[in-house]
C-alpha cells in the first residue's frame, strides 16, 4: 500500500515541479507549498527525504524573493524527485 501511494506521490511531484517551473512566481509558490506539505516524509526513505528537502529549499528561496538564479535549485528538486520515483520501481 505504501509503495503504490509513494509512487503516485513521486510521479505527481515530478509533474508539479515541471508545471511550477514554467509558471509565474505566485503560482509556483502555491504549487511548491502544497507539494512540500503533501510529500513530507512519514518514513525514513532516504530518496524521499532528499526529494522533500530539495523541494523545501526551492520553496524557501522562492518565498524569500530570490526569483533569479534558481535554475540549479529547480534542477536539483526535479532530479531528486526523479530519483525518488526510480527508487520505487
Provide long-range contacts, Cβ within 8 A and 24+ apart, for 29-33. Answer: 29/59, 29/62, 29/63, 32/58, 32/59, 32/62, 33/59
Taking alpha carbons only, the member of 25, 89, 11 closest to residue 63 is: 25
Split at pLDDT 50, 70, 90, the class of 72 is very high
Task: Render pLDDT for 53-65 as a digit per residue (tens, 0 to 9).
Answer: 999 999 999 999 8
pLDDT (average), residues 61-84? 92
User: Residue 45: pLDDT band by 50, 70, 90 thresholds?
Assistant: confident
User: What pLDDT score does 71 carry?
Assistant: 93
pLDDT at 1: 44
Amino acid at each position: 500500500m505504501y509503495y503504490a501511494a509513494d509512487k503516485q506521490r513521486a510521479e505527481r511531484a515530478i509533474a508539479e515541479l515541471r508545471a511550477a517551473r514554467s509558471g509565474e512566481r505566485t503560482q509556483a509558490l502555491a504549487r511548491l507549498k502544497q507539494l512540500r506539505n503533501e510529500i513530507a516524509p512519514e518514513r525514513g526513505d532516504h530518496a524521499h527525504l532528499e526529494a522533500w528537502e530539495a523541494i523545501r529549499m526551492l520553496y524557501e528561496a522562492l518565498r524569500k524573493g530570490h526569483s533569479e538564479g534558481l535554475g540549479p535549485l529547480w534542477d536539483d528538486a526535479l532530479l531528486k524527485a526523479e530519483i525518488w520515483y526510480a527508487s520505487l520501481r
